Amino acid sequence: MTRALVSALGGLLAGVVMLGVNAAETEKTDNTMLIDDFSRADGNSALGTRWESFTDRVMGGVSDMQVEYRESDGQRVLHMAGQVRLENRGGFIQVRLPVDPAGGSIDASAWDGISIRVRGRPGAYYLHLRTRQNWMPWQYFRAPMEVGRDWQEQRIAFDEFAGVSTRRKLDLDALKSIAVVAYGEAFEADIEIARIGFYARHGEPLADR
Query: Rounded distance, CA 14 to CA 3, Å?
Result: 17
Q: What is residue 68's DSSP assignment?
A: E
pLDDT at 133: 86
Alpha-carbon distances, residue 198 vs 20, 27, 47, 205 (angstroms): 21, 11, 12, 14
Domain map (residue ranges) of the chain: 3-208
Count of Cβ atoms closer than 10 Å to residue 27 Cβ: 12
pLDDT at 63: 98
pLDDT at 137: 81
Q: Please give the chain's pLDDT, 209 residues, in tens.
A: 433 433 343 444 333 444 433 333 456 655 999 999 999 988 899 999 999 999 999 999 999 999 999 999 999 999 999 999 999 989 999 999 999 999 999 999 999 999 999 999 999 999 999 999 888 888 999 999 999 999 999 999 999 999 999 988 899 999 999 999 999 999 999 999 999 999 998 644 333 33
The domain 3-208 is classified under which CATH number: 1.20.120.80, 2.40.50.140, 2.60.120.430, 2.30.30.230?
2.60.120.430
DSSP letters for 144-207? EE---SS-EEEEEEGGG-EEES--SPP-GGGEEEEEEEEESS-EEEEEEEEEEEEE--TT--GG
Query: Rounded distance, CA 144 to CA 156, Å?
Result: 9
pTM of the entire structure? 0.83
